[in-house]
Amino acid sequence: MGGAPIKTIIKRDGQRVPYDRTRIATAIGKAAASTGGFGLEEAERLAREVERRRAESYADQEPTVEDLQDIVESVLMENGHLKTARAYIIYRHRRAEARAARGGAVEATDNIPYKRIYEVLRWNIAHGCESIEGLNQILASGGYPDLVAACEERYANECRAAGRKVLEHGDDVRLVIVAGPSSSGKTTTTIKMEEQLSKEGKKLKALNVDHYFFDLEKHPRDEFGDYDYEAPQALDIDLINEHLEQLLAGRTVKTPHYDFHTGKRTLNVHEMRLADDEILLMDCLHGLYSEMTRSVPDTCKFRLYIETLGQLRNHQGEFMRWTDHRLLRRMIRDSWNRNHDPLDTLTHWHYVRKSELQNIIPFIGNVDFLVNSALPYEFPVLKAKLFHYFPEATERYRNDFKRQDACLRARRVMQFLQPLETGADETCIPSTSLFREFIGGSEYTY
């Protein structure tokens, strides 16, 4: 069963542009020419094969540039063009380097300013954690607790700075929106901002947007029977706006309660009222999506954005993708907090990335402050807890073309983390750490 022809694709900055098969065929042809391989006719045939594979893998979903490039690599290798595949991989890497060179030799995507990413890279270099090799040296030398402390201090400083920015905006701010992609650490950042602002005499009250999910059975499903709860439309946006308007007017509302284990919502459960001297705090995956808070004037909003702005390289100079970092976090959290098998989280991740590119990335330019939630010390722990799933996923989905996103992602993460040592002492990770939101053991209530 195939999907509809590709009409548009999603770029790295979230823009939707017309699809052009010629661009894929040309890229394949250039890679082939560099190795003395096949000609244009074979390149065009392979481009059509990429389209067919995309239809089998993603059905009617709109693909991203990354999706198609991953499929190109797989198609080249499966058709026996190993030299061309290697040339194409090098081509992708050089294109990434060219993008980075425009902003200071760093890997930056998703509408994040290059200057901000360069600051992250400089911090990582100063603390010896910009590479897999560097992390291995820290583990071998016994410096892991010091790295944990340094990362926690950096993140706490950013949360405090965010709180100061809210105060600088004055009394007009009635709603603080903490937004960001899945597993970026929005909830912990929200809590830490609340702690910071409380010290300055500001009373805060959090609206738990997760309780506004529709019943799971009402969410759209794909050909696998999987529910797509990553889209903003999985939330009761009308009820959210109704309650926002009432709360900011000083009226009492009863918010719903959503049970993730049963996938059911109960209305009119949690009584809530916002006093005149209180600021409403909203931690929401889609907080920047304009429809989510349409009932609140822009002058009354402060928008905070969270992302794992990692700059971790492997020995080949390739960067860990931010979305892969967050996938690892969510695989752990969903297993104990939402009763999901880690491999289910992996196969669902294409929904997550698609929704980020469509409903989050395009709005980053409107934010008032940006917090980096990446903690480089996470990776030895993440590998120890999750690495065994990726060989299993690679083998399980190798010949399942409808699960190629999961197979390719699993292979990429497995190869990246392979040389990383484990054995990190988790006891030195504070109970107030953002990382505890995902691995458990936090003193905060989520």
262-291 confidence digits (pLDDT tens): 989 999 999 999 987 789 999 888 898 889
Instruction: Quote the pTM value.
Output: 0.75
Domain boundary among 306, 341, 360: 306
Q: How many residues does the chain have?
A: 446
Please, which residues have CB within 8 angstroms of residue 436's CB and are 6 or more apart in sequence? 188, 429, 430, 442, 443, 444
- 95 — pLDDT class (breaks 50, 70, 90): low
**Helices vs. strands in the chain: H and E counts, helices first:** 15, 9
pLDDT at 108 over 50: no
- Residue 395 forms part of a structural domain: no
Looking at the fold, whether 78 and 223 belong to one and the same domain comes out as no
pLDDT at 33 over 80: yes
> β-pairing, 252-259 with 8-10?
unpaired
pLDDT at 223 over 80: no
Mean pLDDT of 292-310: 94
Report how many domains make up the chain: 2
Please, which residues have CB within 8 angstroms of residue 84's CB and are 6 or more apart in sequence? 28, 31, 32, 35, 37, 38, 76
Per-residue tokens: 231: 């889209």
Please, which residues have CB within 8 angstroms of residue 207's CB and are 6 or more apart in sequence? 243, 244, 247, 255, 272, 280, 281, 282
Interatomic CA distance for residues 189 and 434, integer angstroms: 7
Looking at the fold, whether 165 and 229 belong to one and the same domain comes out as yes
Say what percent of the chain tops pLDDT 90: 49
Looking at the fold, whether 73 and 182 belong to one and the same domain comes out as no
Of the given ranges (109-118, 126-135, 171-180), which has the lowest mean pLDDT?
A: 109-118
Domain boundary among 256, 291, 306: 306
Contact 52/2 with Cβ under 8 angstroms? yes
Interatomic CA distance for residues 331 and 353, integer angstroms: 14
Looking at the fold, whether 201 and 85 belong to one and the same domain comes out as no
Q: Which residue has the higher pLDDT, 440 or 199?
A: 440
Looking at the fold, whether 81 and 167 belong to one and the same domain comes out as no
Helix ranges, 314-421 (H): 322-337, 342-359, 378-386, 389-396, 404-417
pLDDT at 373 over 80: yes
- Residue 213 forms part of a structural domain: yes
Contact 244/291 with Cβ under 8 angstroms? no
Residues spanned by the domain of 65: 1-102
- Residue 82 forms part of a structural domain: yes
pLDDT confidence of residue 107: 47
- Residue 371 forms part of a structural domain: no
- Residue 192 forms part of a structural domain: yes
Contact 282/176 with Cβ under 8 angstroms? yes
Mean pLDDT of 40-61: 80
pLDDT at 172 over 60: yes
Per-residue tokens: 436: 């505890």
Looking at the fold, whether 85 and 148 belong to one and the same domain comes out as no
φ, ψ of residue 15 to 5 degrees: the values are: -70, 145
